[in-house]
Amino acid sequence: MVDATPDVGASIPSFADLASDDAEHAAVAHDHLIRTYYALLCDSAESYLGDRLAAEEVTDAVFARIWDRRRELQIRTTIAAYLFGAVRNAARNVVAKRRFAERRGAEAMAGAEPPGMGSGGAAPGTAVEEEELRTIVWTAVAALPERARAILTLRWRMQLEWREIADALSMTVNAAQVQHTRALAQLRRRLSWVADIL
């Protein structure tokens, strides 16, 4: 089990460390933040979402966004406050999107024809579009470095827990989470064009 208590004896990196021109120094600072706060942030997100996997995805996305924008961040608070605020806001956005989707689904069902009575189901191209998008994503995953590819495959396709991934790849749970966050950031960069066409 991951220790959810930050190591108060260790020096917490600053935002200046993350924005460092020395990429290795910035990566070490980012890794340290993940090791220190990941479990706590997941717990916080889970309290909003009620779903551990969704909480981990939200936390991963926050860390990936911080890494991608580390040089542009203008933070006027502590790192801990910023991280917890970012995760809280991201989790609330997920909850809001879920509620919106539920309302849309309920509205669609209220006006829907009974099955077999003229309702056509999903639009004909929807399944094809979803399959095309899946193909695009997995093609991008296949182009990632071996470790990133392995972690995403174990997590998404095989739906393994962090401990199982760590054991399979001979690493610690924290290292697996750090590598997953980095793999997501790489994947987002490779797929940034997809968001423009959707």
Per-residue pLDDT of the chain (198 residues; tens, 9 = 90+): 344 444 444 577 777 887 888 888 888 988 999 999 999 999 989 988 888 999 999 999 999 988 888 888 887 888 888 899 999 999 988 888 888 777 766 655 555 444 444 455 555 556 657 777 888 888 888 888 888 888 888 888 888 888 888 888 888 988 889 999 988 888 888 888 765 554
| Same domain as 144, residue 158 | yes
Same domain, 14 and 102: yes
pTM over 0.85: no
- Among the candidates 61, 92, 121, a domain finishes at 121
User: Do 113 and 128 fall into the same domain?
Assistant: no
Number of domains in the chain: 2
Domain final residue pick, 79, 96, 121: 121
Measured distance CA(115)–CA(161) in Å, rounded:
39
**Shared-domain flag, residues 36 and 107:** yes
Query: 112 lies in a domain?
Result: yes
DSSP-derived letter for residue 154 is I
Place of tokens 């717990």: 43
Question: Domain with 110 in it: what CATH number?
Answer: 1.10.1740
- The answer to whether the Cα torsion of 42, 1, 28, 150 is positive or negative is negative
100 sits in which H/E element: helix 79-110
Residue 1 in domain: no
79 and 24 in a common domain: yes
Structural domain containing residue 197? 122-198
Tell the residue number behind the tokens 């879920």, with chain if given.
Answer: 98
Where is the domain boundary, 103, 121, 139?
121
